[in-house]
Amino acid sequence: MKMEEVYNIKEIYTNIQNKLNNMIPENWDKLYLYNSIMENVSGMKTGEMYFYYFPKAILKRPPVNLYEIVPKFNLDETAYEKMIQDLYIEFEKLRDEFAKRKEKVWTNVTVCIEGGNFNIYYDYENLLESKYSDYERHIIWRYKYMSQDLYIYGKKDRKIIEEYLKEIDV
């Protein structure tokens, strides 16, 4: 492994963290981000990205979704969408770096930032053939990474999580 390749990955991680810090106009304790990039049979890339952060506060506050930030802080929507796009591009660069290294290319990643620690988890599931829809994966991801109790979910979402838990217990 060349030193330059390692540096490129670390640089991308730093860029991701800096972009996230610039996107959140208040202090926060924890952040969880999901990003997927898939290629269909024609080579067209598709994907999604969302994140939640927990505002820093004396009393525990609910997580804030990426898409709640613009109205909550009265930000310019066009400028914020550009920030989202720039962040997504960093994940495309990260995925391209894996391909350049001839490493197994991931389909989705989760970034967890807690107490200043940046952790990234790679997943290689073929999302195009997944038995779960995007919505179901989102619910499962929130439950899995954000350690949210089942009681906060509605009946439909609880059912999705319960089915997932039965599946992984097998």
pLDDT, tens digit (0-9, with 9 covering 90-100), for 94-147 = 999 988 888 888 999 999 999 889 999 999 988 888 899 999 999 999 999 987
The Cβ of residue 51 has, within 10 Å, a number of other Cβ atoms equal to 23
3-state secondary structure of 9: helix
**Total of domains in the chain:** 2
Q: How many whole angstroms from its chain centre is CA 76? A: 23
pTM over cut 0.85: yes
Q: Assess whether 11 and 41 both reside in one domain.
A: yes
Instruction: List Cβ neighbours of 19 (8 Å cut-off, separation of 6 or more).
Output: 83, 86, 87, 90
Same domain, 106 and 139: no
> Among 138, 130, 159, 12, which Cα is nearest to 67's?
138
* 118 and 41 fall within a common domain: yes
Q: Which residues are within 8 A (CB) of 156 and not within 5 positions of it... i.e. 6 or more apart?
A: none
